[in-house]
Amino acid sequence: MTWGHPRVPHGQSILSVSQYGRTAVEDLFDVIDRKDWGDCTGKIIANLFYEPSTRTSSSFHAAMLKLGGNVIPINEVTYSSVSKGETLEDTIRTLGCYVDAIVLRHPDDDAALVAHKVSSVPIVNAGCGSGEHPTQALLDLYTIYKENHTIDGLTVTLMGDLRYGRTVHSLVQLLGYFNVKIQFVSPPDLRIPGKYAKMGTIVELNDVLSTTDVLYLTRVQKERHTDHASIFEPLEADYAAAPFSYGITEEHMASAKRGLTLMHPLPRLSEIPKEIDSDPRAAYFRQVRYGLDVRMALLSGILQED
Amino acid sequence: MTWGHPRVPHGQSILSVSQYGRTAVEDLFDVIDRKDWGDCTGKIIANLFYEPSTRTSSSFHAAMLKLGGNVIPINEVTYSSVSKGETLEDTIRTLGCYVDAIVLRHPDDDAALVAHKVSSVPIVNAGCGSGEHPTQALLDLYTIYKENHTIDGLTVTLMGDLRYGRTVHSLVQLLGYFNVKIQFVSPPDLRIPGKYAKMGTIVELNDVLSTTDVLYLTRVQKERHTDHASIFEPLEADYAAAPFSYGITEEHMASAKRGLTLMHPLPRLSEIPKEIDSDPRAAYFRQVRYGLDVRMALLSGILQED
Amino acid sequence: MTWGHPRVPHGQSILSVSQYGRTAVEDLFDVIDRKDWGDCTGKIIANLFYEPSTRTSSSFHAAMLKLGGNVIPINEVTYSSVSKGETLEDTIRTLGCYVDAIVLRHPDDDAALVAHKVSSVPIVNAGCGSGEHPTQALLDLYTIYKENHTIDGLTVTLMGDLRYGRTVHSLVQLLGYFNVKIQFVSPPDLRIPGKYAKMGTIVELNDVLSTTDVLYLTRVQKERHTDHASIFEPLEADYAAAPFSYGITEEHMASAKRGLTLMHPLPRLSEIPKEIDSDPRAAYFRQVRYGLDVRMALLSGILQED
């Protein structure tokens, strides 16, 4: 890998954060800052979701509408026996006859790449298997940049389920392009995998809270904690098997930097109590809003060139 | 409550008919008569339906499209264990980053108010629990007004399940602003609750048919009567437990006023036989059409101001 | 029936291929060739699908968006007991208040006609029961015409499940307007019904391969062949009961005409192996693309006149 070099391969598809070197990231963020995206009137995307994720699909849907384009939502994909039969490749080739790009969520790690190989239109990986979720990682990084007016020089602490969280894996990869101190906080069973672990240090929250610029939390499943249904990201089954209890508290916030950026990809459960929402350092809903801009820039980019 | 006074509180959200006094209702109807609604090009609403109601969601969807705006339909919300976790508040805050207003149907009575309290965009109550369904009540009242060119002076008879029908409860409240004679016809078990009962008189249909200007029927469940699936409003479970048999017949129509307005919120079952559809006094499909105008006016109103 | 005469009855609804005589087909194809369809800005259709068919609904959705119009997708129709109650007629009358045309898929053979009789807006039959699927047949015929620059004089061989395939039945009817030699290849249990059989000859593939201009295959279910879910057409239950094994092979393609048009309504299973996709004679994905143009022309036609 050529860290830090400008890239963006794979035709116009967005498959992996590894397509983005430092220069490509900086160019993208410059486009977003200037809201310098083109009009997509007359363009159509398909939101092809083999797994439900209303959060992500709504974000792409809104981004496309705000660009002037349109969306065909295909959310009802099921694995029932009655609908068995067609390969992903044929589905992609068919949809490619109707739309200008396909936003794909799929349970298989390699689905985006498989789709890209046969597709006549760009594929956007909106989360496939336990692999990549590149647009989420780019919006996370953009949030860090917007909240701090820089990325270089920051101390970023990632906390929670670092083992299964594809969001975290992709974000660590992007942070590697910058001069950032990376720290990991997690229960032993949910440690960051080795290939990412070497890019940072495993620490305890209390030891690093006062020096952390960005604290990025991920979901924790506390059994039977919830009383509302999430319409957004379903929780991975693994959580249910290994519930554990921790999170950030108001006491933690009191010890943290005044300029802290507290982030979370949402949905959050007990790991961030509601009381913290009114703290100006709680950036997770601004993160949602930045995500819309990031996806507008990305969609506009791939749709303008064809 | 200040009956008859102009109101419309709660920011721009539409939560309850109690926001509308007589003056506010008259102003609204004047807007609808003149089709004096603004263009909503570039605006987006989310149709967030935790309960299926294709009838209501289609109506809002069509209204928004006709205003030039767009809709993100979120109909697949389920209570499956896998999707549990996020609070309604967080869902609303997230969607508020994407859209300009949220149309909400939810099984909890207080959901619209809960949503409104945390929302950065207007909430439209599209039926929550057994409580309010304000846009339905407003379209019912508008239908009465259009069919009769007035509301004051009319005799309105409400018939059917008056106990559980949130539509009826909201309509009675609105009728209270006007000089209207209200009558209730229902089986003993499905009588109008006390707080509304005192606004009218409990009667028998045959005693009042010849003097009724508006006859408003609601659903009756006759067991195994149906052979088609409704794609619209699901029937409340209570009906199944207490089926009963009655409705309006061609003989009733022969005894009714020549100028009668026969209304129904739909779906109708056996309480209005098909043969009556061709009677010019059968107003229930015109009622559907008026509903589109009412919702265009309401959506335009809340979206223009922000 | 008056074969070959110009027709297109039933108001503006598209219910059956029998509405199209030779002249009407030729006029339609001329419109498509010249892409001479009108703008549908401000028009709305409902995609009312009582059976899932993402392939067909996406095609109509994309066609309408490309015409400048909008779509209300109603895909979640279920037959659960909780949603029972409303007749198809009432559903159609309600939707007719909201939209300019209704695209209907339904399990009952006569649903499109039933809907048409009560509808205030045109109905498009998008496949009802085991009966008609007229827009599929028209796009199949248009594909034959585009790939061969003619229809008259061709030898067309239809192969697969000719008994249950409504697509095949409608196509045979349309081919009857032209000077075409029709041949049928199928297992004994899945033979073409008598009324269509007399329009062609029952043959063996190897006997006719070298003289066939158009080879039209339909789905074959090989048990447990599949590992991906189809998001498109569900397979008929009958297939599962009577699986059989055959299809077209590379060897067959080597013996076939250089100018062969190989068609399939998709989804395909094992009856056409992937290796054949790169053969320029494999026309099935071009067929998908032609379908978009055909549906744009048909929708534009029925929406312009009102």
Backbone angles phi, psi at B261, to 5 degrees: -110, 115
pLDDT tens, residue by residue, B132-153: 899 999 999 999 999 999 999 9
Residue C93: which CATH number? 3.40.50.1370
CA C276 to the chain's CA centroid: 22
pLDDT reported for residue C225: 32
Pair B89, A268: CB distance under 8 Å: no
- Contact status of B222 with chain C (Cβ, < 8 Å): no
- Contact status of A266 with chain B (Cβ, < 8 Å): yes
pLDDT band (50, 70, 90) for residue A220: low
8 Å CB contact of A230 and B85: yes
- Contact status of A52 with chain B (Cβ, < 8 Å): yes
**What one-character-per-residue DSSP string does A54-73 give?**
HHHHHHHHHHHHHTT-EEEE
Instruction: State mean pLDDT over A168-181.
Output: 95
Q: Which of C65, C222, C227 to mutate to test the interface with A (most CBs of A within 10 A)?
A: C65
User: Residue holding tokens 């309850």?
Assistant: B16
Give the predicted TM-score (pTM) of the model.
Answer: 0.91
Average pLDDT score, chain A: 87
Assess whether A62 and A86 both reside in one domain: yes
The number of domains in chain B is 2
Amino acid making up residue B98? Y
Q: Which of A47, A65, A218, A274 to mutate to test the interface with B (most CBs of B within 10 A)?
A: A65
Complete edge-to-edge strand list for the sheet that includes strand B201-202: B201-202, B181-185, B155-159, B214-217, B261-263
- The DSSP H or E segment spanning A155 is strand A155-159
pLDDT band (50, 70, 90) for residue A52: confident
Instruction: State mean pLDDT over B60-64.
Output: 98
Assess whether C119 and C139 both reside in one domain: no
pLDDT band (50, 70, 90) for residue B238: very low
C-alpha span between B44 and B206 (Å, rounded): 49
C-alpha span between B241 and C3 (Å, rounded): 56
**What one-character-per-residue DSSP string does chain B give?**
--TTS----STT-B--GGG--HHHHHHHHHHHHTT-----TT-EEEEEESS--HHHHHHHHHHHHHTT-EEEEE------GGGB---HHHHHHHHTTT-SEEEEEESSTTHHHHHHHH-SS-EEEEEETTS--HHHHHHHHHHHHHHHS-STT-EEEEES-TTT-HHHHHHHHHHTTS--EEEEE--GGGPPPHHHHTTSEE--HHHHGGG-SEEEE-----TT---SB-SSPPPPHHHHHS-------HHHHHHS-TT-EEE--S---TTS-GGGGGSTTB-HHHHHHHHHHHHHHHHHHHHH--
- Contact status of C202 with chain A (Cβ, < 8 Å): no
Q: Is residue A32 part of a domain?
A: yes
Q: Is residue C38 part of a domain?
A: yes
8 Å CB contact of A228 and B85: yes
Q: Is residue B10 part of a domain?
A: no
**Partners of residue A295 in chain B, C-beta under 8 Å:** none
C-alpha span between B298 and B66 (Å, rounded): 13
ipTM at complex level: 0.90
Give how far B77 is from chain A: nearest CA, Å: 5
pLDDT tens, residue by residue, C262-298: 999 998 888 999 999 999 999 999 999 999 999 999 9
C-alpha span between C222 and C269 (Å, rounded): 8
* Chain C residue with minimum CA distance to B239: C82
pLDDT reported for residue B53: 85
Give how far C302 is from chain A: nearest CA, Å: 21
Q: Shortest CB distance from A83 goes to which of C76, C230, C285?
A: C230
Pair B266, B139: CB distance under 8 Å: no
In this complex, which chains have at least 3 CB pairs below 8 Å with chain B? A, C
Question: Nearest CA to A8 among A165, A110, A166, A138?
Answer: A138
- Contact status of B117 with chain A (Cβ, < 8 Å): no
Question: Which domain does A92 fall in, by range?
Answer: 17-133+291-303
Assess whether A48 and A188 both reside in one domain: no
Q: Is residue C7 part of a domain?
A: no
Give how far A238 is from chain C: nearest CA, Å: 24
pLDDT at A225 over 70: no
- C150 in the Ramachandran plot: left (φ > 0), alpha (ψ -120 to 50) or beta? beta
In this complex, which chains have at least 3 CB pairs below 8 Å with chain A? B, C
Q: b vs e for A47-64, b when ≥16 Cβ sit within 10 Å of the residue's Cβ?
A: bbbbbbbbbbbbbbbbbb
Coil, helix or strand at residue A156 = strand
User: Residue holding tokens 């929406």?
Assistant: C303
Pair B124, B13: CB distance under 8 Å: yes
Q: List Cα–Cα distances, C36 to A99, A280, B49, B65, B247, in angstroms.
A: 21, 57, 40, 25, 52
Structure tokens at B223: 């067991």
**What one-character-per-residue DSSP string does C226-275 give?**
--SB-SSPPPPHHHHHS-------HHHHHHS-TT-EEE--S---TTS-GG
Q: Shortest CB distance from B62 goes to which of C72, C87, C90?
A: C72
pLDDT reported for residue A131: 77
Q: Please name the residues in contact with B6: beta carbons below 8 A apart, sequence gap of 6 or more.
A: B21, B22, B23, B24, B27
* Chain B residue with minimum CA distance to A234: B83
Backbone angles phi, psi at B239, to 5 degrees: -60, -45
Amino acid making up residue A11? G
Backbone angles phi, psi at B47, to 5 degrees: -95, 95
Assess whether A174 and A247 both reside in one domain: yes
Give how far B288 is from chain C: nearest CA, Å: 7
pLDDT at B242 over 60: no
In this complex, which chains have at least 3 CB pairs below 8 Å with chain C? A, B
Instruction: State mean pLDDT over A178-184.
Output: 98
pLDDT reported for residue B40: 95
Assess whether B89 and B42 both reside in one domain: yes
8 Å CB contact of A269 and B76: no
Assess whether C177 and C50 both reside in one domain: no
Angle at A75 between CA A72 and CA A80, to 5 degrees: 135
pLDDT band (50, 70, 90) for residue B257: very high
pLDDT at B212 over 90: yes
C-alpha span between C62 and A72 (Å, rounded): 7
- Contact status of B41 with chain A (Cβ, < 8 Å): no
Q: Is residue A41 part of a domain?
A: yes
Lowest mean pLDDT among A73-77, A291-295, B223-227, C143-147: B223-227
Give how far B131 is from chain C: nearest CA, Å: 20
pLDDT band (50, 70, 90) for residue A228: very low
**Partners of residue C76 in chain B, C-beta under 8 Å:** 52, 54, 75-76, 231
- Contact status of B44 with chain C (Cβ, < 8 Å): no
8 Å CB contact of C83 and B59: no
8 Å CB contact of C235 and A85: yes
What angle, 0 to 180 degrees and rounded to 10, lies between the N-to-C axes of helices B166-175 and B134-148? 50
pLDDT reported for residue C191: 92
Assess whether C122 and C244 both reside in one domain: no
Which has more confidence, A267 or C9?
Answer: A267
Assess whether B153 and B43 both reside in one domain: no
Average pLDDT score, chain B: 87
Assess whether A296 and A247 both reside in one domain: no
Q: List Cα–Cα distances, B88 to A102, B56, B80, B117, in angstroms.
A: 29, 20, 15, 11
Structure tokens at A188: 């032993």
Structure tokens at C74: 């109603």
Q: List Cα–Cα distances, B283 to B280, B290, B296, C215, in angstroms.
A: 7, 10, 20, 54
8 Å CB contact of C231 and A83: yes
Assess whether C65 and C189 both reside in one domain: no
pLDDT reported for residue B8: 62
Residuewise pLDDT in 10s, chain C (306 residues):
344 455 665 568 999 999 999 999 999 999 999 999 999 999 999 999 988 888 999 999 999 999 999 999 998 665 443 344 689 999 999 999 999 999 999 989 999 999 999 999 999 999 988 778 999 999 999 999 999 999 999 999 999 989 887 889 999 999 999 999 999 999 888 899 999 999 999 999 999 999 999 999 987 654 333 333 445 544 444 444 444 457 899 999 999 999 999 999 998 888 999 999 999 999 999 999 999 999 999 999 999 864
Pair B71, B47: CB distance under 8 Å: yes
Structure tokens at B141: 């009242």
Coil, helix or strand at residue A51 = coil
pLDDT tens, residue by residue, C1-38: 344 455 665 568 999 999 999 999 999 999 999 999 99
pLDDT at B79 over 70: no
Structure tokens at A204: 């305890």
Assess whether C35 and C149 both reside in one domain: no
State percent of chain A over pLDDT 90.
Answer: 71
**For residue B237, how many other CB atoms are within 10 A of its CB?**
9
Which has more confidence, B191 or C237?
Answer: B191
Q: Which of A41, A65, A97, A105 to mutate to test the interface with C (most CBs of C within 10 A)?
A: A97
8 Å CB contact of C292 and A97: yes
Coil, helix or strand at residue C90 = helix
Q: Is residue A92 part of a domain?
A: yes
Q: Is residue C3 part of a domain?
A: no
β B101-106/B123-128 pair status:
parallel
Assess whether C240 and C185 both reside in one domain: yes
- C155 in the Ramachandran plot: left (φ > 0), alpha (ψ -120 to 50) or beta? beta
**For residue B234, how many other CB atoms are within 10 A of its CB?**
18
Q: Is residue A5 part of a domain?
A: no
pLDDT reported for residue C219: 79
